[in-house]
């Protein structure tokens, strides 16, 4: 069998299939890019899985916390004609299906009551296969993403909503996102590979990263950064003196010395004063006369108290003499007393 005959047989088998492709048209989503709107599922190659993480198999990835790591599967359940089914694989927030017989716009979706969606299984429990029909609504999670199912007669019979643009920007990629094979242009060369000799060279990590960037990302003029210059010190005080030469900071004025307050003369207590009356009563009880109204003169001992002490001096006399003068006067007084005691009568 030649290559042309094989291709003709393949195209003939596709023509005889009632629904060779299932198209999921995005109605609303908070995780998919706005430009991506159509996902094409080929039932002849095992279908596609729906989840949050990357896998090695075709995956409709919805990076949202409402979507489980392995949320649901869409696959074909028969051949000629191909029929598609969806089953929940034990997700937390569930997979919902709503039967519709007409296209659904985002405004129509907002007007639909929540009871119109039927959950396939309980949380953390897998479900039975659920047949998908034309214009059915498939909701993943609580309010994460809603798709509209399109099942046309043939692979070429598509509507405006599920058609792929010529540039392919509106297609939602279902290709495996993990474990991609490196192409010949992206494989590192022998110079980039570390040496495996008995004494491998320990290269700097920064230099290694720079070499990898040069190998995989050719430098462009737009990405080259200008060398940073060291910042210079800017004397703002000198600039201020240049712009405002006449203004000088005010000099601190010396504070005036406080004048000593004059002490008021002592006012004698009157006969109606409470203190005077108490003193008079004390003098009357003791049988002594009232003391004079003169101020009390403080007296201080000139030397040590006890035997051999000198007489008491008033405060003014004591303050006028220096310690040396008081010591000499005390010595003279002691010598005088000794002389008087030893002199004959």
97-141 tens-digit pLDDT: 999 989 999 999 998 998 899 999 999 999 999 999 999 999 999
Number of domains in the chain: 2
Task: Give the pLDDT of residue 218.
Answer: 65
pTM higher than 0.75 for the full model?
Answer: no
Mark which of 96, 121, 152 sits at the end of a domain. 152
Tell me the mean pLDDT in the region 270-291: 78
- Answer yes or no: is pLDDT of 198 > 50: no
pLDDT of residue 232: 86
- Top pLDDT among 275 and 172 is at 172
Domain assignment of residue 224, yes or no: no
Q: How confident is the model at residue 47 (pLDDT cuts 50, 70, 90)?
A: confident
H-helix segments, the chain = 3-16, 106-111, 205-216, 236-243, 274-286, 315-320, 323-342
The CATH number linked to 113 is: 2.60.200.20
Mean pLDDT on 273-284: 83
List, for residues 201-251, the tens digit of each pLDDT value.
Answer: 445 788 888 878 887 776 665 445 555 666 788 899 988 888 887 766 667
Domain annotation covers residue 41: yes
Q: Is residue 122 part of a domain?
A: yes
Average pLDDT, the chain: 78
Has residue 228 been placed in a domain? no
Residue ending a domain, among 105, 128, 152, is 152
Quote the domain boundaries for residue 71: 21-152
Query: Does residue 109 belong to any structural domain of this protein?
Result: yes
Torsion of CA 59, 62, 68, 72, to 10 degrees: -50
Mean pLDDT throughout 52-63? 91
Angstrom CA distances, 41 to 127, 152, 163, 258, stand at 20, 13, 13, 99
Residue 6's pLDDT is what?
Answer: 47
DSSP 314: E
Q: Is residue 320 part of a domain?
A: yes
275 part of a folded domain: no
Grade residue 256 by pLDDT with cuts at 50, 70 and 90: confident
Return d(Cα 54, Cα 179) in angstroms, integer.
9
Q: Where does a domain end: 101, 131, 152?
A: 152
Range of weakest confidence among 6-20, 37-51, 60-74: 6-20
Q: What is the predicted pLDDT for the residue at 254?
A: 77
138: in domain: yes
């Amino acid at each position: 069998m030649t290559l042309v005959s094989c291709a003709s047989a393949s195209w003939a088998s596709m023509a005889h299939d009632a629904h060779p492709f299932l198209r999921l048209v995005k109605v609303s989503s908070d995780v998919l890019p706005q430009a991506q709107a159509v996902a094409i599922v080929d039932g002849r190659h095992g279908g596609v899985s729906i989840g949050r993480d990357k896998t090695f198999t075709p995956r409709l990835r919805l990076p949202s916390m409402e979507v489980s790591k392995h949320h649901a599967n869409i696959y074909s359940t028969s051949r000629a004609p191909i029929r598609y089914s969806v089953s929940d694989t034990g997700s937390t927030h569930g997979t919902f299906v709503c039967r519709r017989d007409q296209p659904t716009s985002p405004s129509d979706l907002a007007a639909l009551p929540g009871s119109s969606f039927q959950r396939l299984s309980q949380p953390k429990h897998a479900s039975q296969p659920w047949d998908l029909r034309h214009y059915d609504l498939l909701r993943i999670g609580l309010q994460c993403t809603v798709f509209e199912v399109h099942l046309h007669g043939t692979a070429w019979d598509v509507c405006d909503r599920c058609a792929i643009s010529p540039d392919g920007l509106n297609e939602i990629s279902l290709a495996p996102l993990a474990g991609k094979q490196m192409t010949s242009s992206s494989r590192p060369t022998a110079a980039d590979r570390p040496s495996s000799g008995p004494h491998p060279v320990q290269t700097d990590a920064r230099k290694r990263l720079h070499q990898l960037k040069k190998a995989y990302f050719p430098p462009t003029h737009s990405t080259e950064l200008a060398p940073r210059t060291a910042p210079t010190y800017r004397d703002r005080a000198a600039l201020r003196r240049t712009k405002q030469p006449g203004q000088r900071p005010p000099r601190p004025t010396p504070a005036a010395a406080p004048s000593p307050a004059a002490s008021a003369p002592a006012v004698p207590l009157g006969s109606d004063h409470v203190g005077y009356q108490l003193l008079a009563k004390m003098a009357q009880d003791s049988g002594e006369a009232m003391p004079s109204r003169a101020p009390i003169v403080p007296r201080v001992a000139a030397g040590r108290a006890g035997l051999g002490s000198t007489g008491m001096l008033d405060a003014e006399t004591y303050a006028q003499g220096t310690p040396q003068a008081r010591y000499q006067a005390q010595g003279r007084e002691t010598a005088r007393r000794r002389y008087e005691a030893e002199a004959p009568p």
